[in-house]
Structure 1
Amino acid sequence: MVQLDFSPVFANWSDLFHGALVTIEVTLCALLVSCVLGTLIGLSRLDSKKPVRYFAGNTYVVLIRGTPLLVQLFILYFGLPYFNILLPAFVCGVIGMGCYSAAYVSEIVRGSIRSVDKGQMEAARSMGMSSAQAMRMIILPQALVRMVPPLGNEFIALTKNSALVSLVTINDVMHEGQKIISVSYASLEVYIAIAAIYLVLTSVSMTLLNRLENKLRSGGMVQ
């Protein structure tokens, strides 16, 4: 019978905790990038100008969604120095994850906006609002509530995908776990501990997102 020894995990718990904090930091920064960039791309995909739609939809989204996140991280971390562009590992991780997630966020934004009844835009325009004002004051507040569940799923996926940044030397929880394994050889025990940490992070995130969604809905922002 296999005997598990978690003593290396407990002995190095502070390192795993520090790694978890780095994971949270990377994920939150990447989420900020993805939300801002994804919103801009999503809005541009609704633009009436074909060149704008073509670049945002057929170029960026297809390119980013059609290639693995790990490859994109390697291109940023190992490829940019060929052009004399040296970025810290943390910045490469945030940019890579943020740009990757933005392609999916753009679809969420575009779909949520399109789900709002077109008559509301027409009504706002008939009251003298510009398209930008109607979008900001009428359409987006309603679309926001509809974005929360899929954005929550994307945030959970982003949290789990953050494990890949350990391969570009960011000291996240996975990287710290690998260092513990290299000394203790307790690979199974360490990976179980890392899985538990990710489970806690995603569970807390889901709870907070559910509360946010319920609060927005209780505010009457969605019919």
Structure 2
Amino acid sequence: MSNVLEYTFSSTFLVATWKTLLLTVISMVLGIVGGLLLALVKNGGPAPARWLADAYIWLFRGTPVLLQLIFVFNVLPLWGITLEAFTCAVIALALNEAAYMAEIVRGGLMGVDRGQRTAAHMLGLNPVQTMRWVVLPQTLRLVLPPTGNQLIGMLKTSALASVVSVQDLLLTAQRTASANFDYVGTLSAAAIHYLVLTTIFTLAVRALERRLDVDVRARKQGQILTRETL
């Protein structure tokens, strides 16, 4: 047990955890942006653009993320593009995540009542303003729970980056175990770090869900008005 705690709080594991966190967050943010753009294209873009978006989603959802990761890491140098392993991992994970987020966001866009778009148009809002002020805020509430699941999935998927020598949490645990043959201690320490990050992400998503919940906000506003009346 003492070895597990020693590894858990060692600077080597803490640095590796920070790199894992950066890899997860950066890839997820880029994936969300890419997914949003793909969803908007599929929702109202011209036919050729919709076909390209469908082809992109079909390709990246239909092939293993590990294959995509190795492809980016090994093929880009052949095209004269030399990047660090961390950057290659971010590119591969973000491209893969964008395909999944596109379907999540598209489902959220379809979940917003079309009558609200009509009402916004009647109020004089143009399509861009309608999307910005009416559709996207409601879509955010709908897509937040599945996006939270994707974030946790991204954290675990990021461990695949160790295959291309990204010094993340898993690779650090493996190399430490290879050096001292303490697989139980090092892997247990890595598991603790993953569980801590997963718990933080889960609590953060739940807090954001409560903040965006219309009923909760209405109750809080009602309580404030009641106190002011009294």
Fold-level similarity (TM above 0.5): yes
> Which residue matches 2:14?
17
Residue 32 (structure 2) pairs with residue 35 (structure 1):
yes
> Which residue matches 1:214?
210
Residue 98 (structure 2) pairs with residue 102 (structure 1):
yes
Number of matched pairs:
215
TM-score (structure 2 length as normaliser): 0.89
Letter in 1 for 2:126: S
Distance across 2 between alignment mates of 1:64 and 1:72 = 8
Residue 36 (structure 2) pairs with residue 56 (structure 1):
no
Distance across 1 between alignment mates of 2:7 and 2:115 = 62
Q: How many angstroms does 1:94 deviate by?
A: 0.7
TM-score (structure 1 length as normaliser): 0.92
Q: How does 1:160-171 map to 2 (within 5 A)?
A: 160-171=156-167
Residue 120 (structure 2) pairs with residue 124 (structure 1):
yes
Residue 215 (structure 2) pairs with residue 200 (structure 1):
no
> Which residue matches 1:172?
168
Percent identity over the alignment is 34
SS at match of 2:43: coil
> Which residue matches 2:66?
70
Distance across 2 between alignment mates of 1:176 and 1:9 = 15
Q: How many angstroms does 1:48 deviate by?
A: 4.6
Letter in 1 for 2:127: S
Contact 1:8 1:186 survives alignment (8 Å): no
Structure 2: gaps of 5 or more residues: 219-230
Contact 1:9 1:190 survives alignment (8 Å): no
SS at match of 1:128: coil
> Which residue matches 1:145?
141
Structure 1: gaps of 5 or more residues: none
Residue 87 (structure 2) pairs with residue 83 (structure 1):
no
Q: Structure 1 or 2: larger helix share?
A: 2
**Displaced runs of 4 or more, over 3 A:** none
Distance across 2 between alignment mates of 1:182 and 1:144 = 45
